């Protein structure tokens, strides 16, 4: 699938880091570095604008290494970029560590996954088909 993209940054386009990767690393595009204090959140610009086809979305997800090693994650994970959005892609990062974290232009800050989805119609009903789980809530499928 081909996706139109405008890149106003000086960074390379998001790319897959291995042959079987689902996510593409996306980079910060900043005039000056950002210092993210513990428990602070910020919107990080990327300089990227995309045009997705109908029934597709771009999901913004954390980078696992950044989350594990530095405590930096995507706050609204996964974030959704809808097919009709044409603005700049921004990544909401939060620092869950106890130390300050610096974000510089060009840093890989998140992953972008392009995903197909369905558009549904609702059908009002008075009942639903029974299932083994039924109305049981969280944790009702087992302890592991």
Domain positions in the chain are 4-11+23-116
Average pLDDT over residues 114-137: 92
Is the pLDDT confidence value at 70 over 80?
yes
Q: Could you give the CA distance from residue 74 to residue 110 in angstroms, rounded to a whole number?
A: 7
CATH of 4-11+23-116, one of 3.30.460.20, 3.90.76.10, 2.70.40.10, 1.20.810.10: 2.70.40.10
pLDDT of residue 136: 80
pLDDT of residue 140: 67
Secondary element (H or E) of residue 34: strand 34-36
Q: Could you give the CA distance from residue 37 to residue 59 in angstroms, rounded to a whole number?
A: 25
- 9-60 tens-digit pLDDT: 999 999 999 999 999 999 999 999 999 999 999 999 999 999 999 999 999 9
Q: What is the pTM of this model?
A: 0.89
């Amino acid at each position: 699938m081909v996706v139109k993209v405008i890149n106003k940054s000086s960074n390379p386009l998001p790319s897959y880091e291995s042959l079987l990767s689902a996510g593409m690393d996306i980079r910060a595009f900043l005039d000056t570095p950002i210092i993210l204090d513990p428990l602070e959140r910020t919107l990080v610009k990327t300089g990227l604008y995309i045009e997705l086809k109908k029934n597709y979305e771009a999901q913004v997800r954390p980078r696992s290494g950044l989350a594990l090693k530095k405590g930096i994650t995507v706050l609204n994970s996964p974030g959704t970029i809808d097919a009709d959005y044409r603005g700049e892609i921004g990544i909401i990062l939060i620092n869950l560590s106890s130390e300050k974290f610096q974000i510089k232009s060009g840093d890989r800050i998140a992953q972008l996954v392009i995903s197909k989805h369905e558009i549904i119609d609702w059908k009002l009903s008075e009942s639903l088909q029974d299932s083994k789980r039924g109305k049981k809530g969280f944790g009702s499928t087992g302890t592991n």
